[in-house]
Amino acid sequence: MNENEFKTFMKMIDDQYPNQPKFNQTQKGFFWLALKDFHINQVVSSFSLHTQDSEKGMFKPQVCEVMKYLQTTNMDIRSKFQEFFDHKEVKDKLAIAIWNKIGGNRLLRLTEKEVDKKAESFLELYKQEIAKEKLENLPKKIKQKLIGVEDKSR
């Protein structure tokens, strides 16, 4: 998604909920960090799914609520995990590092039930690493506003 599409998307959400406060710059910044790598159609579709939820759809979504409906991310990560079992060449360095961290090629000898548990671990660790990377790449102004993030230059 490009910046113009993002601005249009954020305006669309604000327009959808006229009686609720508009997003501030920090909130928009977090939405941008979470959504910038997705196609606008995926993001709008995710928002649409949020609005269809009878309880949550009455309120402006938070980042996590929009992300919840972007299932392609989870499917993409799961497919990376599956590549190891399909003996395909895995080029994703992060996927390789996590694969090795949770057991490497020893996982190929696990039962199906155990593999399912490891797949969940792989998925969560992969998403955590991506989130960590995004946090590290936040502008200093935004980092200073976050509770619990300390300035390491001091």
Is the pLDDT at 68 greater than 70? The verdict is yes
Query: What is the length of the chain?
Result: 154
Mapped onto helix, strand or coil, the DSSP state of residue 154 is coil
**Nearest Cα to Cα of residue 145 among 14, 2, 28:** 28
Q: Which of 20, 48, 68 is the last residue of a domain?
A: 68
Is the pLDDT at 147 greater than 80? The verdict is no
User: What pLDDT is stored for residue 49 in this prediction?
Assistant: 79
Q: Which of 13, 40, 68 is the last residue of a domain?
A: 68
Global model pTM greater than 0.85:
no
Q: 58 in a domain, yes or no?
A: yes
Pair (55, 106) in one structural domain: no
- Only one residue has tokens 């996982």, namely 107
Is the pLDDT at 71 greater than 70? The verdict is no
Task: Give the tens place of pLDDT for each residue, 11-22.
Answer: 999 998 999 999
Average pLDDT of the segment spanning 99-128? 92
Pair (27, 81) in one structural domain: no
Poorest-confidence range of 22-26, 41-45, 50-54, 92-96? Answer: 50-54
Max avg pLDDT among 31-40, 69-78, 107-116: 107-116
Question: What is the number of structural domains in the chain?
Answer: 2
Please state the separation of Cα 129 from the chain's center in Å. 10
Question: 79 is in which domain, residue-wise?
Answer: 71-136
Rg value, the chain, Cα: 19
User: What pLDDT is stored for residue 145 in this prediction?
Assistant: 60
User: What pLDDT is stored for residue 139 in this prediction?
Assistant: 66
Pair (64, 75) in one structural domain: no
For 32-70, give one letter per residue: b (16+ CB within 10 A) or e.
Answer: bbbbeebeeebbbebbebbeeeeeebeebbeeebbbbbb
